[in-house]
Structure 1
Amino acid sequence: MPLASQTDTLYLLWKIVSHFKTVMTMRDFFLQLFITLICCARWT
């Protein structure tokens, strides 16, 4: 993956985190993120 694309992805993730951390606790966010990553890993 190109470095620029990686940076854009990280920036997008940071924007998402910044938005959702005002909606839910970080614990719940990371739990949901962990479950999502597990599901993605199992289906790829």
Structure 2
Amino acid sequence: MKRLTIFWDLTKVSATDFGFFLKKIDIACRFYCCSTLTYSTPL
């Protein structure tokens, strides 16, 4: 719980940067998932 509080403090410090970071993570995850699905199940 304490770790979550520290994490929340970090997000409040740089909310904009964190949002941009999350967006990059989301795009990377989607790209990774799509490529993994494509490779694991060839069409």
Give the TM-score, by structure 1 length. 0.51
Aligned residues: 29
**Residue segments in structure 2 that go unaligned for 5+ positions in a row:** 34-43
Query: Which structure has the larger Rg?
Result: 2
Q: Which has the higher contact order (CA 8 A, sep 6+)?
A: 1
Q: Give the root-mean-square deviation of aligned CA atoms.
A: 2.2
CA distance in structure 1 between the aligned counterparts of 2:10 and 2:23, rounded to whole angstroms: 15
Matched, 1:37 2:6: no
The structure with more helix, counted as a fraction of residues: 2
**1:3-41 deviations in whole A, cap 9, x for unaligned?**
xxxxxxxxxxxx37514225x410000000000000000
Please list every run of 5 or more consecutive structure 1 residues that lacks an aligned counterpart in the other structure.
Answer: 1-14
Identity %: 17
Scaled by the length of structure 2, what TM-score is found?
Answer: 0.52
